[in-house]
Structure 1
């Protein structure tokens, strides 16, 4: 039995391996790039209008409603039960998707998948409860990298099976069901944490501080998903808050503390504007991902032509990961030029979406999507680091959760107005005109912000620079000299 025990120095290895296995098989979903062709095909026989305006919006609504309760529950029950719940939700989602029929059942599929999305927070928060601080960065990189590898491999596998082996979309979903079932199996072997960030927190030694000007992004956090990377400054807000009577109930006391922490975090203009971009762009990004397959099916119907959704998703994910990795080798002053980068790449995103709207070629549409997704993954990596660099793990979890919630609120408003049958009920091509215009507005906001920052920096430089001595005029100047 002693051989099964791990030494304290290696205690992080076992949960990391199990968590990575769970992440790999939960993301190994080859059916996803071909979801819309499956729903509109003979298996489900749903119309494009039903999918766009009645079924897909349910995911946005359920995700928004479930996010905050699940966020609190995740910490209260210490992560593992929520990860197991996510595994069960995966299985229920694909069972319904395989054997359910009709709009109502597919709406239920989207609701359960909204629960899957909401419980994803437990996957990344878990590592902070079972791993010592010196391993946070390393384990974060492992967990995010394995999910990217799994998603890319699943997309490539799906394309090969469809194009070369002529495998049906139904059997792709069977393969996905088997994969998520294996993920659920591994979730049962995760160790139960003894602590959590908030409700079951334990006092620990303050982590070493980071230099505020540090701009080099760690190698393990290069991908889109360094979403859970955290800075390590101590929580100054708790120490600086004036003493006041604590609420009687622990939950209420925690909520008050969270509100105070968030207020102090967002009081930083730099963090506020990076968070603003995160929320705005993530809302648009999720909206595009939710409906892009419908646009592809409109440009090139799957019943009439060969489609390459899997290959496009694989290339987009891999290209985005490479772009994010390259950020670590770019040495610029993000404090001064960060908003300019946000403006430039938001303009690129707007242009690619408008191109997808106006083009009649599916290949041009695919190319626009590749540019759009790579740009987002590049910038979200920068944004994650800029937000996390001066925050503790607890505060980063709060800011990340709040940014995600705000993004979902924006996405929900967009869905109600643009997509829902109770709103404008726009066709999918017109929707992408709206999304392109939306990113153009984001680009305009941050362009004005960057101009203001550059102008302020120039003014400060002029004020701080010593005045140049003026040449003295000679006191006794002759008439000829004056003339």
Structure 2
């Protein structure tokens, strides 16, 4: 397969860059004797910087990734991860940790280069397979990292600082891989090949469920869709390159066309709203666990929880293809019911003093989100080509981060309310409950609309038959 060696190098990079044994214990490390930071400093002053950095850098990095043709941004991401863990190991104080969060936000924003690079060096026929390779290896790396960290902490009795050293080592190994990748000759927007075309979105997404393998690949990252649905060639889409103004004009034009589709808009709305809440919950879950079961006094099992939640989330994504649900008909009601379940999980996490209920609720929360984001991913991707999917994924992620930044600055940041972590989670639970109500109303309105349409279709033949009988009687009277 063309590009197989490049895929292998990307998989090596994806595995080692996600092999982070210290990740499940970051809050415990920052609040422990190594950094000696308070909960207020960690939760209300340091962690919010990642949200702001990710939001501010997402769109510029997206454009830079395409303009520079992926490889330089991959190197930038790898370097940012190394800087992050060097600072985590050596730096002290709140300002240094805030700068660390900025570099981690840069690394997170640059993930788009990892998931985009391979599509510029392989043929479209291999997109699904290489997406599976790259996505699966990152999930495996993340799972292996959490499990390794927990085993080292409890089995080998290593210190948390040693887990940071381990993570820094894997990040350094990962940083070598991008240098062995060739520079692609084409990209989606700035460096196009001749004859590039874009596809119009369908009014309704496909109802056939995808294969379970494809769903697993799509659980958290944007897979391209290689199906030919309807192609609309553009003169501006050809040529070897495009200027920034032209690219922005095309993106705006595509944005207006894509989001006219009401079903796509509904799934994208849930995507943005739920991802915002999901980020908040997973970002501050460790602080909640540290409050309920302090790592200085008890053994903690954060690594096992992260491992189990990742595996169950992947399994939930895998099982979606086996569920015979007409998502185009029942999608909004399903989103409402499962969003309510997520709200219940968040509320259960703040049960006083019960760490096991908190752990279990977190696992169920993540698995439910992965299931729903898999469905949302497929419903959106089934009617778009890769270019428009990249746009929709970017817009949905940007809106999620914008909402998250607003939520953070009001609820979390010390410049806002600066609430304690228990109160924060009560607000996040209420947030998911509101999402549930919104989609319940949308689902009921959709069912009512379809019922009215069905009634009109049934009444129309009867009305035509009555008109024909009246006309026939009138003609008979005229003849007589």
Corresponding residue to 2:135 among 134, 144, 159: 144
Distance 2:423 2:356 in 1: 19
Whether 2:120 is the aligned partner of 1:129: answer yes
Whether 2:44 is the aligned partner of 1:44: answer no
Equivalent runs, 1:216-295 vs 2, <5 Å: 216-223=209-216, 225=219, 227-232=221-226, 239=233, 250-295=243-288
Equivalent runs, 1:49-128 vs 2, <5 Å: 49-128=40-119
Could you tell me whether the CA contact under 8 Å between 1:12 and 1:130 is conserved in 2?
Answer: yes
Distance 2:352 2:182 in 1: 51
Q: Deviations over 1:16-62 (max 9, x none)?
A: 11111100000000100000111011100000110011100000011
Aligned position for 2:472: none
Could you tell me whether the CA contact under 8 Å between 1:20 and 1:146 is conserved in 2?
Answer: yes
Could you tell me whether the CA contact under 8 Å between 1:78 and 1:196 is conserved in 2?
Answer: yes
Q: CA deviation at 1:304?
A: 0.7
Task: Name the SS of the counterpart of 1:228 in structure 2.
Answer: coil
Length-normalised TM-score, structure 1: 0.91
Task: Name the SS of the counterpart of 1:264 in structure 2.
Answer: helix
Aligned position for 2:473: none
Task: Name the SS of the counterpart of 1:165 in structure 2.
Answer: coil
Could you tell me whether the CA contact under 8 Å between 1:86 and 1:116 is conserved in 2?
Answer: yes
Distance 2:232 2:428 in 1: 40
Distance 1:359 1:45 in 2: 25
Aligned position for 1:184: 175
Could you tell me whether the CA contact under 8 Å between 2:31 and 2:38 is conserved in 1?
Answer: yes
Corresponding residue to 1:169 among 160, 180, 189: 160
Q: CA deviation at 1:190?
A: 1.3
Q: CA deviation at 1:209?
A: 10
Structure 1 residues 198 and 249: alpha-carbon distance in aligned structure 2, compared to 1, 3 A threshold: closer
Q: CA deviation at 1:216?
A: 1.7
Equivalent runs, 1:389-408 vs 2, <5 Å: 389-408=382-401
Distance 1:68 1:253 in 2: 16
Q: Deviations over 1:271-312 (max 9, x none)?
A: 101001000111111111111000000011110111000000
Structure 1 residues 205 and 85: alpha-carbon distance in aligned structure 2, compared to 1, 3 A threshold: closer
Q: CA deviation at 1:214?
A: 4.2
Q: CA deviation at 1:116?
A: 0.5
What RMSD, in angstroms, separates the aligned Cα atoms of the two structures? 2.3
Q: CA deviation at 1:357?
A: 1.9
Whether 2:426 is the aligned partner of 1:433: answer yes
Task: Name the SS of the counterpart of 1:201 in structure 2.
Answer: coil
Aligned position for 1:353: 346
Q: Deviations over 1:65-124 (max 9, x none)?
A: 111100000000000110011000010000000000111111111010000111001111
Could you tell me whether the CA contact under 8 Å between 1:230 and 1:393 is conserved in 2?
Answer: yes
Structure 1 residues 208 and 108: alpha-carbon distance in aligned structure 2, compared to 1, 3 A threshold: closer
Distance 1:33 1:226 in 2: 19
Aligned position for 1:481: none
Q: Deviations over 1:129-179 (max 9, x none)?
A: 111100111111111111111111111111111111111110101110111
Q: Deviations over 1:342-387 (max 9, x none)?
A: 1111000000001112342000100110111000000000000000
Aligned position for 1:366: 359
Structure 1 residues 314 and 71: alpha-carbon distance in aligned structure 2, compared to 1, 3 A threshold: same
Aligned position for 1:312: 305
Equivalent runs, 1:187-206 vs 2, <5 Å: 187-204=178-195
Distance 1:330 1:390 in 2: 20
Could you tell me whether the CA contact under 8 Å between 1:210 and 1:232 is conserved in 2?
Answer: no
Q: CA deviation at 1:450?
A: 0.7
Distance 1:267 1:232 in 2: 22
Structure 1 residues 92 and 284: alpha-carbon distance in aligned structure 2, compared to 1, 3 A threshold: same
Distance 1:237 1:68 in 2: 27
Equivalent runs, 1:293-332 vs 2, <5 Å: 293-332=286-325
Distance 1:376 1:29 in 2: 22
Whether 2:373 is the aligned partner of 1:380: answer yes
Distance 1:28 1:171 in 2: 14
Structure 1 residues 297 and 424: alpha-carbon distance in aligned structure 2, compared to 1, 3 A threshold: same
Could you tell me whether the CA contact under 8 Å between 1:140 and 1:220 is conserved in 2?
Answer: no
Whether 2:402 is the aligned partner of 1:414: answer no
Could you tell me whether the CA contact under 8 Å between 1:207 and 1:234 is conserved in 2?
Answer: no
Distance 2:34 2:133 in 1: 38
Q: CA deviation at 1:226?
A: 5.3
Stretches of structure 2 lacking an aligned partner (at least 5 in a row): 470-480
The number of residues matched between the two structures is: 457
Distance 1:284 1:311 in 2: 23
Could you tell me whether the CA contact under 8 Å between 1:287 and 1:411 is conserved in 2?
Answer: yes
Q: CA deviation at 1:249?
A: 8.0
